[in-house]
């Protein structure tokens, strides 16, 4: 059996150094950067669509779409009317700072207020890769089970906020929103939690307010 941990550590150290370079650049530009992590199907892209729609241009967004194989999500972002760059990881299960650096060159949008990075659908390894973001947000959908935060605690530990999505499915699912919330807070008591349904729009306003607040804070610290 081979253990690759020391090699991984070297790689992640190089990644962290580059992430710091990106973070400095974002600070100078006053751009708020969000890293969205979730399992496949939790609703990252749909939440982004609701976010773009809800902010309605009041916050200028740019999006980097991490996708293992396709451009399906990038096309959805493009249709929603925001500048987007797709990063195909060729089956890779997370984004790295060097991918963000090269995507920024293609995004060519210096006049944005916030950059949202949709990470590859995976609740494990994206938590260990710094992308220069201000905040990680973990999205978890109710039908995945309200024990998800306990089974995959790393994402909840690394996150500033958790979005519990698909709350409209509560009547059809053994999982309970309240239990999901309690489990998430038991892993990380500092989590900001939003209960939303991207289908009905329920709870989306509180999420939009949080984004607006974080964007304003970042802008105020600019320079």
Contact residues toward Zn ion (CB under 5 A) are 93-94, 125
Phi, psi (degrees; rounded to nearest 5) at 85: -125, 135
By CB under 5 A, which span of 40-48, 106-114, 122-130, 203-211 interacts with Mg ion?
40-48
Q: Are 94 and 37 in contact (CB under 8 A)?
A: no
Size of the site for Mg ion (CB under 5 A): 3
Residue 50 or 136: the one with the smaller Cβ distance to Zn ion is 136
Select from Mg ion, Zn ion, none the partner in contact with residue 44, using the beta carbon and a kind-dependent cut-off of 5 to 8 Å: Mg ion
Tokens 């207020």 belong to which residue? 113
Q: Closer to Mg ion by CB, 77 or 161: give it.
A: 77
Query: Does 44 engage in binding with Mg ion (CB under 5 A)?
Result: yes
CB of 165 to Mg ion, least distance (A): 12
Q: Which residues contact 195 (CB under 8 A, 6 or more apart)?
A: 164, 167, 177, 181, 202, 203
Name, in order, each residue with C-beta under 8 angstroms of 4's C-beta and a sequence gap of 6 or more: none
Structure tokens at 141: 């959908």
Say whether residue 45 binds Mg ion (CB under 5 A). yes
Q: Which is nearer to Zn ion, 62 or 121 (CB)?
A: 121
Output 93 or 109, the one with its CB closest to Zn ion: 93
Q: Identify which of residues 73 and 160 has a Cβ nearer to Mg ion in the complex.
A: 73
Binders of Mg ion in range 116-155 (CB under 5 A): none
Between 133 and 146, name the residue whose CB sits nearer to Zn ion: 133
45, interface contact from Mg ion, Zn ion, none, CB < 5-8 Å by kind: Mg ion
**Residue 64: φ, ψ to 5°:** -115, 125
91 torsion bin: left (phi>0), alpha (psi -120 to 50), beta (else): left
Q: How far is the CB of 48 from Mg ion (least distance, A)?
A: 8
- Minimal CB distance to Mg ion: which residue? 45
DSSP code, position 165? E
Q: Of the candidates 35, 73, 170, 195, which one interacts with Mg ion according to CB under 5 A?
A: 73
What is the closest distance, in whole angstroms, from the C-beta atom of residue 113 to Zn ion in the complex?
29
Closest to 73 measured CA to CA, from 41, 105, 97: 41
Closest CA to 123 of 140, 99, 107: 140
Looking at 161-203, list the stretches that DSSP marks H as alpha helix, in order from N- to C-terminal side.
177-187
Chain residues binding Mg ion by CB under 5 A are 44-45, 73
């Amino acid at each position: 059996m081979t253990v690759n941990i020391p090699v991984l550590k070297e790689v992640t150290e190089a990644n962290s150094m580059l992430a710091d370079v990106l973070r400095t650049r974002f600070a100078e530009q006053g751009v708020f950067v969000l890293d969205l992590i979730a399992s496949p199907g939790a609703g990252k892209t749909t939440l982004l669509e609701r976010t773009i729609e809800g902010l309605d241009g009041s916050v200028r967004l740019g999006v980097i779409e991490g996708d293992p194989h396709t451009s399906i999500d990038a096309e959805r972002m493009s249709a929603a009317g925001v500048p987007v760059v797709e990063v195909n990881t060729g089956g890779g299960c997370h984004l790295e700072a060097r991918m963000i650096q090269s995507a920024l060159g293609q995004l060519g949008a210096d006049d944005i207020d916030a950059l949202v990075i949709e990470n590859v659908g995976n609740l494990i390894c994206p938590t260990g890769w710094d992308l220069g973001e201000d905040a990680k947000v973990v999205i978890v959908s109710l039908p995945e089970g309200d024990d998800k935060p306990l089974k995959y605690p790393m994402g909840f530990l690394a996150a500033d906020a958790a979005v519990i999505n698909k709350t409209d499915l509560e009547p059809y699912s053994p999982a309970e929103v309240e239990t999901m919330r309690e489990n998430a807070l038991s892993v990380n008591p500092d989590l900001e939690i939003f209960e939303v349904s991207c289908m009905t729009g329920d709870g989306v306003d509180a999420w939009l307010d949080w984004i607006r607040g974080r964007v304003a804070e970042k802008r105020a610290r600019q320079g």
